[in-house]
Amino acid sequence: MRPIDDAVCPASSFSAAEREAVYHAIMTRRDVRSQFLPDPLPDDLVTRLLTAAHHAPSVGFMQPWNFILVKSAEVRARVRDAFLKANEEAARMFDGERQEKYRSLRLEGIVEAPIGICVTCDPSRSGSVVLGRTHNPRMDSYSTVCAIQNLWLAARAEGVGIGWVSIFREGDLKEILGIPDHIEVVAWLCAGFVDRLYDEPELAVKGWRQRMPLDELVFHDGWGQIKT
């Protein structure tokens, strides 16, 4: 192990342009369903995205993630079929006009995107007692989501769109991809180059739901206490 004092270095500051770039990626990141270009993603680019994901924080530094890269059109078609089945079940959970609206939405680009990335979480990655997970077993899934967000933002900076698809029966994805029982499926990400993006969430543009005002979500010194 390195001497601990050697490992602490100055916190490098960001230039104004670097700071702006970080916020630019955050503010213009989109969930992409229909804008994927068919061009394959170069392997070195995919490695950069996965490296960004792999530098995410994780509870107890357990790094519970795996990434299954799916280029096979045949496998993606099976995943799409699993989506279609679940999506029909999902549609029936909404009533009346809301169901009609739901059915009009595009909620995946599994076959159109040139690569799918299935992100999983292995709760057994660093034994059964994990620093930081001792009192909340969901912390490993949360860590995996941090990795996905890193990948999503890096992708935005690389001109790559990402679409998170979660409308599946987990067992279907496990069967298609041969994922063991004890592994949790966290996300199916559609990934591909994009040259056009919505300038606000597609669900907002299509009238499903709007962004909430931030000040309604911030409390002070206790639940429900808004600043006067």
Ligand X SMILES: Cc1cc2c(cc1C)N(C[C@H](O)[C@H](O)[C@H](O)COP(=O)(O)O)c1[nH]c(=O)[nH]c(=O)c1N2
In the complex, which residues of this chain contact ligand X (CB under 6 A)? Answer: 30-31, 33, 107-108, 164-167, 201, 203
- Which strand (E) or helix (H) includes residue 26? helix 16-28
Is 82 or 126 the residue whose CB approaches ligand X more closely?
82
Query: Residue with CB nearest ligand X?
Result: 201
Closest CA to 91 of 76, 104, 109, 110: 104
Helix 170-177 crosses helix 73-91 at what angle (to 10 degrees)? 170
Least separation in angstroms between residue 172's CB and ligand X is: 14
Q: Which is nearer to ligand X, 146 or 167 (CB)?
A: 167
Return the number of the residue (101 or 131) whose C-beta is nearest ligand X.
101
CB of 26 to ligand X, least distance (A): 10
Distance CA 169, CA 89 (A): 10
Cβ atoms of 63 and 129 within 8 Å: the answer is no
In whole angstroms, the minimum distance from the beta carbon of 31 to ligand X comes to: 3
Q: List residues bridging with 69 in a β-sheet.
A: 117
Question: Do 64 and 143 touch, CB atoms closer than 8 A?
Answer: yes
CB of 75 to ligand X, least distance (A): 18
What are the DSSP calls for 154-180, one per residue?
HHHHTTEEEEEE--S-HHHHHHHHT--
Least separation, in Å, of the C-beta of 218 and ligand X? 19
CB-wise, 68 or 167, nearer to ligand X? 167
151, 170 contact by CB (below 8 A): no
**Which C-beta is closer to ligand X: that of 108 or that of 140?**
108
